[in-house]
Amino acid sequence: MKVAVIQQNSQENVQANLARTKELVLAAAAEGAKLVGLPENFAFMGDEADKRRVAEDLSLDGPIMAALRDLAKESGAFLFGGGMPEKSGDDARPFNTSVLVSPTGQIIARYRKIHLFDVDMPDGSHSYRESRSTSAGGEPCVAEVHGTKVGLTVCYDLRFPELYRALTALGARIVTVPAAFTLMTGKDHWHALLRARAIENQVFVMAPAQHGKHPGNRQTYGKAVIIDAWGDVLAQCPDGEGYTTARLDFAAQDRVRASLPCLSHRRL
């Protein structure tokens, strides 16, 4: 299966972000990508009060969801929409939701981010409290794409290996990690954590990413990447907006799992 991950520099203007998303997805699909990943906050990255206003009920076609449906149909690819604000029972705290849409425009899965980013940067430059403006999900999510099971996660989830082991136990052969990793944590931890999740679960990892400067003096690391089940980097975006593609070899994944059967050696 040929897949692609998108790297964006999303801002506060939803329509401008969606227009750029469309350009990048259609370009990746034109190269044959059948599964395309969008980063966390692909449609909106800005003030938390504004995020609440753009939150959508996924059963209705708001601007973001309608754009994802139309883009999936136009591209002919499965799309997972990084993290987007989904209305919850708390108007002040929408979910941060990754949505998987089929080439027919149907929502086939939604994953609500479980682990929320409540962190003080070691250098004292920023303090993040995602839980103040976001409701947490509670359930792992696996869906099928062209006969292959895909596990959905979002950004900060990456630091919790038990979630990825649960997805693997549910049959995932690909895991998705759409992210808006901070520059400080990304430069030291992004590749190490992604490769670890790939190696320990013998899965492909697709990690679309935000890159550059955003409102609120935020800066993200980028380096959207695709990693194989041995932990090798198959493709990576350079700095700036763009996309990268790779072909996932599931026979090679089977050989990794057969020659090093650590998944069957688990004791805990």
Q: Which residue numbers are catalytic?
A: 40, 113, 155
Q: Give CA torsion, residues 178, 102, 11, 177, to 10 deg.
A: 0
